[in-house]
């Protein structure tokens, strides 16, 4: 007789916009410094160096406008409003044209960050995992089906109704298809992968009681209340 010694963990998933179905998630990748104004505000030169990536565990997803208990081990929780790309096919060593064909849909997301732990990790030359990949750190709104990459559209993040980030997807240093192509040279991509595509300037702290909403033109917004 064979089988698992424990019940397998549930498959993380994200609602599909306007449907009763859900999108099953395999891996979550994130791009760092993909908007020049945010690179500058973090103290970096926004030259077009190749994109760099980090990851979050798939079970770090927070979906459906769920509340966020203020995370452990931080006094400086930051929001980062981002476009999320969902892949419906996989591959490796792809050209941007081939990479564009992997796209299943897009969502508005929030790459929640324990900024104090990230600053400590940067100073010590240590990994970002505990700054970026903590429980409920991957806020993701409903995924809207698409036939190609989103190239433009206003992206805003508001806290308690006040706009704090306001940019356009066209301001990305590396557009969506290029991001997927670069990533496909580092790992083999597969259906169910999500990619957070970076955040524009204006990142800042969230406190208990704050309500953060990420809105991207053409997509459903996602709202998170910190409790």
Rule CB under 5 A: say whether 193 interacts with Mn ion: no
From the CB of 9, what's the least distance to Mn ion, in Å?
25
Close Cβ partners of 162 (under 8 Å, ≥ 6 residues apart):
none
- With 0-12 / 13-18 / 19 or more C-beta atoms within 10 angstroms meaning exposed / middle / buried, residue 204 is middle
CA distance linking residue 226 with residue 118, whole number of Å: 20
From the CB of 217, what's the least distance to Mn ion, in Å?
19
Rank residues 14 and 39 by Cβ distance to Mn ion and give the closer one.
39
From the CB of 48, what's the least distance to Mn ion, in Å?
18
Rule CB under 5 A: say whether 80 interacts with Mn ion: yes
Rank residues 110 and 184 by Cβ distance to Mn ion and give the closer one.
110
Of 158, 199, 213, 223, the residue at the interface with Mn ion (CB under 5 A) is 199
3-state SS of the chain: helix, strand, coil percent to 5? 20, 35, 45
From the CB of 8, what's the least distance to Mn ion, in Å?
30
Rule CB under 5 A: say whether 79 interacts with Mn ion: no
From the CB of 33, what's the least distance to Mn ion, in Å?
9
Query: Residue 103 forms beta bridges with which residues?
Result: 87
Report residue 105 CA to chain centroid gap.
13
CA distance linking residue 221 with residue 25, whole number of Å: 19
* Interface of this chain with Mn ion, residues 92 to 111, rule: CB under 5 A: 111
Query: Applying CB under 5 A, what is the total number of residues that bind Mn ion?
Result: 3
Residue whose Cβ sits closest to Mn ion: 111
Binding part of the chain for Mn ion, among 57-65, 150-158, 179-187, 199-207 by CB under 5 A, reads: 199-207
- Terminal Cα distance for the chain, rounded: 46
Look up tokens 């996602």; give the residue: 222
From the CB of 167, what's the least distance to Mn ion, in Å?
13
State both tokens at 186: 């580092």
* Interface of this chain with Mn ion, residues 108 to 147, rule: CB under 5 A: 111
State both tokens at 87: 């892949």
Instruction: Using CB under 5 A, list all residues that contact Mn ion.
Output: 80, 111, 199
């Amino acid at each position: 007789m064979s089988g698992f010694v424990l019940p397998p963990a549930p498959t993380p998933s994200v609602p599909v916009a306007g449907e009763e179905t859900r999108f099953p998630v395999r891996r979550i990748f994130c791009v760092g410094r993909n908007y020049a104004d945010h690179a500058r505000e973090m103290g970096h030169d926004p030259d077009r160096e190749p994109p760099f990536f980090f990851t979050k565990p798939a079970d770090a997803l927070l979906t459906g406008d769920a509340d966020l208990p203020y995370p452990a081990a931080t006094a400086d929780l930051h929001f980062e409003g981002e476009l999320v790309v969902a892949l419906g096919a996989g591959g490796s060593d792809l050209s941007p044209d081939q990479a564009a064909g992997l796209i299943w849909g897009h969502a508005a997301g929030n790459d929640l960050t324990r900024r104090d732990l990230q600053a400590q990790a940067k100073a010590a030359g240590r990994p970002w995992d505990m700054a970026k990949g903590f429980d409920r750190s991957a806020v993701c709104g409903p995924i809207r089906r698409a036939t190609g990459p989103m190239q433009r559209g206003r992206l805003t993040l508001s806290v308690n109704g006040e706009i704090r980030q306001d940019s356009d997807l066209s301001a990305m240093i590396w557009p969506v298809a290029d991001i997927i192509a670069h990533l496909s040279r580092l790992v083999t991509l597969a259906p169910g992968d999500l990619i957070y595509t970076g955040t524009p300037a204006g990142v800042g702290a969230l406190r208990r009681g704050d309500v953060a909403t990420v809105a991207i033109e053409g997509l459903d917004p996602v709202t998170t209340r910190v409790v």
